[in-house]
Amino acid sequence: MTFSVAAETIAAAPVSIPATVAVSGPAAATEKSRCAGCAARSKGLCAALPAEELPELTAASRTINLLSSTPVVLEGAEADSVFTVVSGMLKLYKTLPDGRQQITGFATAGDVIGLAVGEVYAYTAETVTASTVCRAPRTTLHRLMERRPAVQGRLLAMTSVELSAAQDQILLLGCKTAVERVASFLLALSRRSRPLPDGSPSVFLPMPKVDIGAYLGLRPETLSRVLRKLEDAGAITRLTNDRIRLDDAAALEATATLAA
């Protein structure tokens, strides 16, 4: 069963899946174009859309509010929809038959989820925090791409950036030690988030430690020990469980052994 069924039939959703909080689709969209006011309008694929395409997209898409730990797409399921993250955070992962999981990435506002090469999704996507996503049929995306080369160009650019990030992750997993992996991860995240009021860079880690470990190819125990070591060395401070301040970014850079 794909999540989309649950999204549209809230009452019938199995209790094992946390309930959708709200859905707004064609029925709820009394305004001319819900997309025009969307928080993700200027991000991801939608940034490549001229205003005149919005009404059709509004008609074809649905905005879905999700609690945390809710699957959005399932690895191996028929890939009939694509999703844009409006807010929140999701984890994308692949699973081996015996249950081992590898997180391939985290998706935030503007990221597109569910693009598939073949007929089925290549990974599972699940919310880490309460999130809002926008679902559109795959066919709508294809039609938009045919009509608007800019959309295809934008998708190519986004895919290329993702590919580059995936190759960086291959380097991390294939070559780097535990400390190097964690330092690289913290620095990469800090580049995408704004610094604290006092100017020092920080990172927000809403996901459990076991997920960060599954992303970095480490066990949560190892992650915990590495963070402690970095904290003892004065490179970071753990402000709360989900917020880390980078006190010595230069030291982190040095231990991250970034690619030339």
Angle at the Cα of 130 from the Cα atoms of 129 and 135, rounded to 5 degrees: 115
Among 59, 150, 208, 243, binds DNA (CB under 7 A): 208
Contact between 237 and DNA by CB under 7 A: the answer reads no
For residue 36, the minimal CB distance to a second copy (Å) is 27
Q: Which residues of 74-99 are buried (b: 16+ CB within 10 A; e: fewer)?
A: beebebbbbbbbbebbbbbbeeeeee
For residue 226, the minimal CB distance to DNA (Å) is 8
Contact between 38 and DNA by CB under 7 A: the answer reads no
Among 8, 56, 80, 162, binds a second copy (CB under 8 A): 162
Q: Which does 10 bind (CB under 5 to 8 A by kind): DNA, a second copy, none?
A: none
Contact between 113 and a second copy by CB under 8 A: the answer reads no
Q: Which residues of 14-25 are buried (b: 16+ CB within 10 A; e: fewer)?
A: eeeebebeebeb
Phi-psi region of 13 (alpha: psi -120 to 50; beta: other; left: phi over 0): beta
Contacts of 115 (CB under 8 A, 6+ apart): 82, 155, 159
Contact yes or no for 39/109 (Cβ under 8 A): yes
Among 214, 226, 227, 235, binds a second copy (CB under 8 A): 214
Contact between 178 and DNA by CB under 7 A: the answer reads yes
Among 2, 140, 152, 222, binds a second copy (CB under 8 A): 152
| Tokens encoding 165 | 């990030």
CB-side neighbour CA atoms (13 Å) of 254: 6
Site string (51-70) toward a second copy, x via CB under 8 A: --------------------
Give me the residues that bind a second copy (CB under 8 A), please: 75-76, 94-98, 100-102, 104, 115, 117, 122-123, 145-146, 149, 152-153, 155-157, 159-164, 166-171, 173-176, 214, 216-217, 257-260
